Amino acid sequence: MPLSVFDLFTVGIGPSSSHTVGPMRAASSFPTLLGDKLGSVASIKVDVFGSLAATGAGHGTFDAILIGLEGCAPDAVEANELTARRTRMSETGTILLGDAVGHGVEIAFTEDDMVKRPLTIKPRHTNAMTITAFDAEGQTLAEETYYSVGGGFVTSETEFLEKEQAAEVVAESGEDDTSEFAVADAVVDAELQSYSEELPYPFHSAVELLQRCKESDMSIAEIMLANEKSMRDEDEIRHGLLHIYSVMEECASASLDRSGYLPGGLNVRRRAHDWYLKLKAEDPDRDPGYYLEWVNLIAMAVNEENASGGRVVTAPTNGAAGIIPAVLHYALNYVDSVVKGGEAAKHAAIVDFVLTSAAVGVLYKERASISGAEVGCQGEVGSASSMAAGGLAAIMGGTPEQIENAAEIAMEHNLGLTCDPISGLVQVPCIERNAIAAGKAINASRMALWGDGQHRVSLDEVIETMRQTGADMSSKYKETAQGGLAVNVVEC
Ligand code: SF4
């Protein structure tokens, strides 16, 4: 399937798309994999590898796996249901395998039963887990290895093998090079080739995207919408995009009501609540001079909610979830044409913003990565900042070339950003970093709109630079909490 806007923006739970949402999504698919064999399961084994095992405790990974094994998907489970399931599990020491998708089989299994292998890095990806189910005689009923590859996306070993087979077909078309890189390229080529067959306006680079806009005289948002319409009808798309925004808004406002300390033992105080009360009193009429304070506030509120395990929209990841809501807040409250256009203009702006930023996000997901574990924070916060800059430039009336320029500027100045969260918690530097990146996105859009869209470094070049920088980056700085702030700040 081609990448949809609803793949990049999904409703999930905090604090991490790769370490919480992905593992829950993977575990929730296992009861379905068992199918008719579910009733014969007597025991299960869960092996957790690499970064998932290393920083899983701080990210709620193990809890997410348990909830997922009961069949709960992150976008469907409500907060009160999560609490009820957690309470029952800790009281009984058992899980109800597959409970949320039909018949639940009670099995003795707790977090302590999981086998954690932080030093074992699976060749395909550092975020890996294997789930095995056995019958009463100890015979294996089903086994699958899952890889949480960033942004809540999950690929199973079976899917990897299928892609490799598809790649062989591409490789057989005359290429002699059978090196690992050539095969990896062939996998990507095979995927992109299949995407192209399904979309009216396929694009796999910014150059192609701009070309599609030129040929069809359509905006980036219109191109993205036309592609989405090959997967679902227009009403469903518009309704879905407004729903995404409403979850972002609910997330920020829920957070603004909460005070106290974030979980995890790092003693990080929630700041958004107090800031909100102070800012509301100081700027009751929304003077434009205060715009950055409001943008900072929304970004921090969303990320504090994420850090406390609340309901968020991955945009495109949980760690970077505050940037797009904060920049959207700016678009809806400080861009004249939107402010003066009433409710209809507001809805149109939300749809255009999210579609445009998703088109930029597709490029990062396809050509590089949006995973901190793969390329560091430049892939999470950098991609979100770039997506937000593109979305805002669209709302401010930018041409496709100016939008591409805005997205490029935002990423160019996030290159090299490492992922080094203290204690593996998505708190420091993540929360403030979202606010800084939101401001950067607004600045990038404004800079791009002063130009005519012609610029020296292309978005494709900067995405490729980000990919290469990520490949060269030491694993200490890729969501392992073994370098940077994670080792230089004293925890107390
Ligand atoms: S440092 Fe960046 S990539 Fe790492 S957990 Fe925080 S937000 Fe995510």
Both 149 and 230 in a single domain?
no
Residue nearest to atom 1 of ligand 1 (CA): 419
Strand pairing report for 43-49 and 115-117: parallel
Our measurement of the distance from residue 147's CA atom to the centroid of its chain's CA atoms, rounded to an integer in Å, reads 14
Both 115 and 225 in a single domain?
no
Both 290 and 434 in a single domain?
yes
Can you give the pLDDT at residue 188?
Answer: 55
Burial label, 137 (beta-carbon count in 10 A; 0-12, 13-18, 19+): exposed
Which of 126, 377, 385, 418 is the pocket-test mutation for ligand 1 (most atoms within 8 Å of CB)? 377
Distance from residue 239's CA to the centre of ligand 1 (Å)? 30
Both 336 and 472 in a single domain?
yes
Can you give the pLDDT at residue 34?
Answer: 96
Can you give the pLDDT at residue 164?
Answer: 85
Distance from residue 241's CA to the centre of ligand 1 (Å)? 25
Q: Is the CB of 320 under 6 A from ligand 1?
A: yes
Both 328 and 477 in a single domain?
yes
Distance (Å, rounded) from C-alpha 482 to C-alpha 478?
A: 9
The total of structural domains in the chain comes to 2
Q: Is residue 419 part of a domain?
A: yes
Distance from residue 121's CA to the centre of ligand 1 (Å)? 20
pLDDT in tens, 32-53: 999 999 999 999 999 999 989 9
Backbone dihedral angles phi then psi of residue 143, each to the nearest 5 degrees? -150, 140
Last residue of a domain, one of 139, 157, 175: 157
Helix (H, G, I), strand (E, B) or coil at 94: strand
Can you give the pLDDT at residue 198?
Answer: 81
Both 73 and 222 in a single domain?
no
Question: Would the CA dihedral through 28, 7, 10, 236 be positive or negative?
Answer: negative
Q: Is residue 166 part of a domain?
A: no
pLDDT in tens, 78-100: 777 888 999 999 999 999 999 99
Residue nearest to atom 2 of ligand 1 (CA): 377
Report the candidate in 60, 32, 406, 416 with the shortest Cα–Cα distance to residue 206.
406
Are the CB atoms for 434 and 301 separated by under 8 Å? Answer: no
Q: Is the CB of 479 under 6 A from ligand 1?
A: yes
Q: Is residue 190 part of a domain?
A: no
Long-range contact set of residues 191-195: C-beta below 8 Å, sequence gap at least 24: 191/163, 191/166, 192/366, 194/166, 195/1, 195/2, 195/3
Which of 126, 426, 475 is the pocket-test mutation for ligand 1 (most atoms within 8 Å of CB)? 426
Report the candidate in 444, 478, 481 with the shortest Cα–Cα distance to residue 462.
444
| Domain of 35, in residue numbers | 12-157
For tokens 């430039």, the residue is 393
Q: Is the CB of 380 under 6 A from ligand 1?
A: yes
Q: Is the CB of 14 under 6 A from ligand 1?
A: no
Q: Is the CB of 319 under 6 A from ligand 1?
A: yes
Residue nearest to atom 3 of ligand 1 (CA): 377
Both 81 and 230 in a single domain?
no
Q: Is the CB of 15 under 6 A from ligand 1?
A: no
Last residue of a domain, one of 157, 173, 199: 157
111-125 in b/e form (b: 16+ CB < 10 A) is bebbebbbeebbeeb
pTM above 0.85, yes or no: yes
Distance from residue 160's CA to the centre of ligand 1 (Å)? 26
Distance from residue 434's CA to the centre of ligand 1 (Å)? 9
Q: Where are the beta strands (DSSP E) in 197-356?
A: 311-314
Report residues of the chain scoring pLDDT below 50: 178-181
Alpha helices in 368-399 (DSSP H): 372-375, 377, 383-395
Residue 425 CB: number of other CB atoms within 10 A? 25
Q: Is residue 439 part of a domain?
A: yes
Q: Is the CB of 223 under 6 A from ligand 1?
A: no
173-208 in b/e form (b: 16+ CB < 10 A) is eeeeeeeeeebebbbebbbeeebeeebebbbbbbee
- Atom index in ligand 1 nearest the CA of residue 434 equals 7
Distance (Å, rounded) from C-alpha 258 to C-alpha 80?
A: 17
CATH of the domain at 94: 3.30.1330.90
Which of 19, 370, 380 is the pocket-test mutation for ligand 1 (most atoms within 8 Å of CB)? 380
Distance from residue 419's CA to the centre of ligand 1 (Å)? 5
Last residue of a domain, one of 157, 179, 208: 157
- Atom index in ligand 1 nearest the CA of residue 317 equals 8
